[in-house]
């Protein structure tokens, strides 16, 4: 199984240009089976003034483009997230698409970020743990600040997750926690973790980049720096079961805790 993580920056104030940029990046992903993009990459996470005006429904221009590209490339595509509007509420929503362009799963970010951020003022939190079955195994979905909440990832494991897909717009000042939490969430749950983080500047904030692919032992298999790039690597789905059998860490859990 080959996975690709697209680490990209927003074209400030130009959503159409950013959509075109993402399209070109996806087309460069070669023979990847699974591709993931960052959090609110079409506007830039810090572009809070655009959230309401540029929000989309599930059939808006961003999901529509992603569905088309999933079909054309015949890939499983994690769309990254976008601001979704539904019944007067706004959400930080990501989709996992099949190679037919069908929506396999929709995840709304549960843990919204309120520190030097207006996300909690504008958006509503999701309330569902999302794990979806695929030919590669069960995939759980999370977004950025979710990484700081281990109970979400353990809840995904309880639903059978073998992979975590994490889209993000993690800022540069907290780069060490980003690297640490990517590795720890994979290690403690004995899962693969594939993250796509934003890079570049948006509304005066610098994103950290350093997207990565982590194996069930917490080892970085592939990682980016802080520039725009696509990271690609092969992973063996059988490694999850092998890791859990070799070192049965999860088997030692105490349910009363």
Residue 255 belongs to some domain of the structure: no
Structural contact between residues 49 and 83, judged by C-beta atoms closer than 8 angstroms? no
**71-91 residue pLDDT tens:** 999 999 999 999 999 999 999
Catalytic residue among 15, 21, 119, 144: 144
Q: What is the maximal distance between C-alpha atoms in the chain?
A: 51
Residue 256 belongs to some domain of the structure: no
CATH code for position 138 = 3.60.110.10
Global pTM value: 0.97
pLDDT given for residue 116 in this prediction: 87
**98-132 residue pLDDT tens:** 999 999 999 999 999 999 899 999 999 999 999 99
Residue 169 belongs to some domain of the structure: yes
Structural contact between residues 62 and 10, judged by C-beta atoms closer than 8 angstroms? no
**What is the extent of the structural domain holding 121?**
2-249
Residue 17 belongs to some domain of the structure: yes
29 is annotated as an active-site residue: no
151 is annotated as an active-site residue: no
Catalytic residue among 29, 39, 73, 239: 39
Residue 257 belongs to some domain of the structure: no
Catalytic residue among 109, 119, 191, 232: 109
Name the burial class of residue 38, with classes exposed (0-12), middle (13-18) and buried (19+) by CB atoms within 10 angstroms of its CB: buried
Residue 84 belongs to some domain of the structure: yes
Q: Which residues lie closer than 8 Å to 87 by C-beta, 6 or more apart?
A: none
In 3D, which of 239, 200, 154, 191 has the Cα closest to residue 7? 200
3-state helix, strand, coil in the chain (%, to 5): 30, 30, 40
Across the beta sheet with 137-143, what order do the strands follow? Answer: 131-134, 137-143, 163-168, 192-197, 212-214, 220-223
**193-233 residue pLDDT tens:** 999 999 999 999 999 999 999 999 999 999 999 999 999 99
**139-183 residue pLDDT tens:** 999 999 999 999 999 999 999 999 999 999 999 999 999 999 999
**13-46 residue pLDDT tens:** 999 999 999 999 999 998 999 999 999 999 999 9
109 is annotated as an active-site residue: yes
**Structural domains counted in the chain:** 1
């Amino acid at each position: 199984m080959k996975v690709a993580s697209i680490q990209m920056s927003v074209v400030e104030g130009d959503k159409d240009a950013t959509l075109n940029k993402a399209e070109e990046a996806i087309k460069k992903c070669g023979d990847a089976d699974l591709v993931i993009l960052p959090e609110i990459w079409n506007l830039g996470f810090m572009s809070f003034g655009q959230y309401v005006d540029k929000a989309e429904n599930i059939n808006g221009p961003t999901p529509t483009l992603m569905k088309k590209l999933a079909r054309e490339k015949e890939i499983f595509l994690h769309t990254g997230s976008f601001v979704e509007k539904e019944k007067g509420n706004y959400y930080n929503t990501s989709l996992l698409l099949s190679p037919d362009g069908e929506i396999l799963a929709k995840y709304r970010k549960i843990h919204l970020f309120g520190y030097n951020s207006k996300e909690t003022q504008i958006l509503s939190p999701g309330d569902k743990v999302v794990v979806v079955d695929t030919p590669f195994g069960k995939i759980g979905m999370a977004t950025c600040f979710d990484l700081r909440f281990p109970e979400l990832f353990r809840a995904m494991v309880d639903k059978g997750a073998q992979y975590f897909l994490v889209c993000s717009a993690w800022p540069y000042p907290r780069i060490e926690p980003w690297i640490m939490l990517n590795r720890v969430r994979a290690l403690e749950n004995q899962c693969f973790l594939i993250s796509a983080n934003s890079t570049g500047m948006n509304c005066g904030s610098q994103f950290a980049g350093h997207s990565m692919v982590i194996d069930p032992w917490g080892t970085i298999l592939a990682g980016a720096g802080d520039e725009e790039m696509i990271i690609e690597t092969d992973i063996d789905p059988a490694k999850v079961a092998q890791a859990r059998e070799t070192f049965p860490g999860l088997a030692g859990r105490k349910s009363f805790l």
